[in-house]
Structure 1
Amino acid sequence: MTDERGGRLLRPEDSSPRATFLELFFDLVFVFALTRVSLRLVEGTGGSVGTLLAEIGRTGVLFLALWLLWSITTWVTSRYEPEQPVIQFVVVGTMFGAMVMAVALPRAFEDRAASFVLAYLAVMLVRPLIIATALRHHPRRTVPLRLFAWAVAGAVPWLTGAVGPEELRLPLWVLAVAVDFAGLLLGWPLPRLGPARTAGWLIAGEHLADRYQQIFLISLGETILVIGLTYSGAEFTADRAGAFATAFVTTALLWRIYFHRAGHLLAEALRVARSPGRLGTSASSTHLVIVVGVLSTAVGYELVIAHPHGRTDPTWLVFVVGGPAIFLAARARFEYEIFGRVSRSRVAGLLVLLLLGPALTLVPPMAALALVAVVLAGVASADARRSRGRPSEPAASPLGHGGTGGGEFPAP
């Protein structure tokens, strides 16, 4: 028999789909955390290509741990009633853990490895136990217990990397992140229980869409911080003023391209999908890549505003050109998730950026950033021309047609 007291923890149908003030408060930590990610990448651009790639790998592992923390919290507040005191306690506790991770992140591969890992594991291990306890004997309590079991497996390489030889830290933490993401993608399967794939979850689609839009805006907010802090800390010159203005315009173009049509329809697509969990899982992966593109672009801003003159360092183009290219590629996938098609303007913009990349080493960084802004402006203009005078296109996601339509977990 279903435990009624435990069932109160689940989000009811009449619950507000909008993000709560606590969730918005929680997101403030990630504004700070994303600036720490950018800082690590900027500090890694001064060496060789090999050094840069190694730093991208290290920073990527740390970012993925933060993303997993944010993403699972988002699914928790979409599955469970965020006004319940237990869920509020879980969110605040996760917030503190994320704050510790963000503080430790710039030196997480050096002397602050233990702080970063212990904060991460405290959230990943304690959070599911609290939720499982609050659910009492409700059938859904098997899901947080699955998360706990997989977090225990992932804790082994996390802790070994933190206390072991420094040269083994990166491969061990890559393994740890792989275990954690494998659990999410496979549905945290356990012997005799099988998986509980997120494709079968009954979710609050409008709430989930709201949260993905907000993490995108948080990443844009991080670029605004980078633009402002870098320009305010440098000597005011005409070149730097031009780079400052171009960076701001580029950020505005990223916002415009994201929210054009598809960016407004994720909630509708999740609402009409027979398998909203499948579409939500796919959208989560897409937004991960979108945020990576925006963060990489922010690193490019800092480099260009600080050094607008001279020839462009080839490694800088990984961020100045690579960031917007990653964003366009992920935004094209997002469009496919919503409409089942991809606009030619996004493909054309991506190809132009990739083809222009090698030639931009011959021009100053300021000119390289300006050309990137021109390409993005072309994509945004094509969007506006295509939609002018036409009715809004309804969501027709090809990813939400599978599943049973019931949105329930398999029997425990």
Structure 2
Amino acid sequence: MTDQRGAALLRGGISSPRATFLELFFDLVFVFALTRVSQRLIDDVSAHGPDLLRELAETVLLFLALWMVWSLTAWVTSRYEPESSAIQFVVVASMFASLVMAVAMPRAFAERAVTFAVAYLAVQVGRPLLLTLALRRHPRRSVTARILLWSAVAAVPWLVGALVPVTRPVLWTLALALDYAGLALGWPLPGLGSARAAGWAVMGEHLAERYQQFFLIALGETILVTGLTFSGGDFSSTQAAAFTVSFVTTALLWRIYFHRAGHVLAEALRASERPGLLGESASWTHLVIVAGVLLTGVGYELVIAHPWGRTAPSWTIFVLGGPALFLAARARFEYEIFGRVSRSRVAGVLLLVALVPVGLRLPPTVVLVLAAVVLAAIAAGDGLRARGRPLEQPASPL
């Protein structure tokens, strides 16, 4: 009886592969959360202080903590029945904790450190604890128990770092490294080995849709930042030009992502004999893709607010580095789906990097235009190669 009650939590053959309305509701928190990440990055760059690199590293750490919460929640709803009351409670509780993390983020390394850490640990420790109890004696309970033990160990530096400010950067870096090491290694335990996500049974189509939705959330955040910056500015012709180029760049990111590989991700996962392996790899890839989009969005705000003059060296990280990071991750994504990489994406990354010294001598709007031209050339090349050809079928080497 206990095994049957635990098995009721697992996805069955009649489960819909589509994301539920509750999951889409959950994603709304991350629209706000990603704006907090962007605002922190903008504040870091605008300060121009000697601690710029440290502050940027802190923002990256907070973003990685948010991604950990979102990605593991996506895996939970791909492995367990999202319509069950226990899983719905997990999603709603994770949603509230994520909102608290986002609210605390601007001052997470200052007076809101305890709030941020406790909210994060409420998900990281509370979620596997609840699932372990709900699964009862079901064999899958061993996986959630592993995650619980690793999260409990990582909770120590999270809490100590929150309470002792001088140790916070080092201990939080260690804690997050433990969380990501557990995820990458499969939360190994002595004598029991590991349980890597690559070997999990998941609803592949559902997982693909969740990655695509989070990518769209990141694009939506750039639209939000672009609109807010332009509407709050002088509404000048130069700002209007930067605003227009920013929108075009966002549309190009969308086009490049969904061309072929992004379009057939669900099919690739559905056809895979080991969807967990492809899903795990795609998770890391989408982390970098989203990071590239966020950096690009920060570049939009910097350019719209200061469309003319000289481009500051740190701005190139966002205006040129963001699209370059996106293209590099998109090239890996293409390899995951088709086992090849288009030369145009590699050339695009190299060209964007090569434009950095040139961009330092040009106005920010012109630098943004150059980045958009590179992306437009890649999108046009994709379209020309695909014209008249049937949709390519996935052939993942994974």
TM-score band w.r.t. shorter chain: over 0.9
Partner of 1:99: 99
Partner of 2:247: 248
Partner of 1:13: 13
Change in CA separation of 1:150 and 1:99 when aligned onto 2, cut-off 3 Å: same
Partner of 1:303: 302
Distance in 1, Cα, partners of 2:350 & 2:47: 28
Shift in Å, 1:46: 2.5
Partner of 1:232: 231
1:213 counterpart = 2:212: yes
Q: Does the 8 A contact of 1:216 with 1:287 survive in 2? A: yes
Shift in Å, 1:170: 1.1
Q: Does the 8 A contact of 1:187 with 1:198 survive in 2? A: yes
Shift in Å, 1:123: 1.1
Change in CA separation of 1:138 and 1:262 when aligned onto 2, cut-off 3 Å: same
Shift in Å, 1:66: 0.5
Structure 1 gaps, min length 5: 400-412
Partner of 2:78: 78
Q: Does the 8 A contact of 2:2 with 2:136 survive in 1? A: no
Shift in Å, 1:49: 7.7
Q: Report the TM-score, using the length of structure 1 for normalisation.
A: 0.95
Per-residue deviation, residues 203-262 of structure 1 (Å, max 9, x unmatched): 100000000000000000000000000001101100000000000000000000000000
Change in CA separation of 1:313 and 1:344 when aligned onto 2, cut-off 3 Å: same
Distance in 2, Cα, partners of 1:165 & 1:205: 42
Aligned positions of 1:2-401 closer than 5 A: 3-48=3-48, 51-166=51-166, 168-399=167-398
Shift in Å, 1:191: 2.3
Distance in 2, Cα, partners of 1:261 & 1:103: 37
Distance in 2, Cα, partners of 1:330 & 1:141: 34
Once superposed, what is the RMSD of the aligned Cα atoms? 1.1
Q: Report the TM-score, using the length of structure 2 for normalisation.
A: 0.98
Distance in 2, Cα, partners of 1:186 & 1:344: 32
Partner of 1:406: none
Distance in 2, Cα, partners of 1:19 & 1:208: 9
Shift in Å, 1:272: 1.6
Structure 2 gaps, min length 5: none
Distance in 2, Cα, partners of 1:210 & 1:225: 22
Shift in Å, 1:51: 2.8
Distance in 2, Cα, partners of 1:92 & 1:103: 17
Distance in 1, Cα, partners of 2:109 & 2:377: 41
| Relative contact order, higher structure (CA 8 A, sep 6+) | 1
Distance in 1, Cα, partners of 2:49 & 2:364: 18
Q: Does the 8 A contact of 1:49 with 1:315 survive in 2? A: no
Per-residue deviation, residues 2-57 of structure 1 (Å, max 9, x unmatched): 71111010000221000000000000000000000000000011344853321220
Q: Does the 8 A contact of 1:333 with 1:342 survive in 2? A: yes
Distance in 2, Cα, partners of 1:13 & 1:365: 53
Per-residue deviation, residues 109-136 of structure 1 (Å, max 9, x unmatched): 0110000000001111111111111111
378-387 vs 133-142, which deviates more? 133-142
Q: Does the 8 A contact of 1:2 with 1:139 survive in 2? A: no
344-353 vs 69-78, which deviates more? 344-353
Q: Does the 8 A contact of 1:270 with 1:276 survive in 2? A: yes
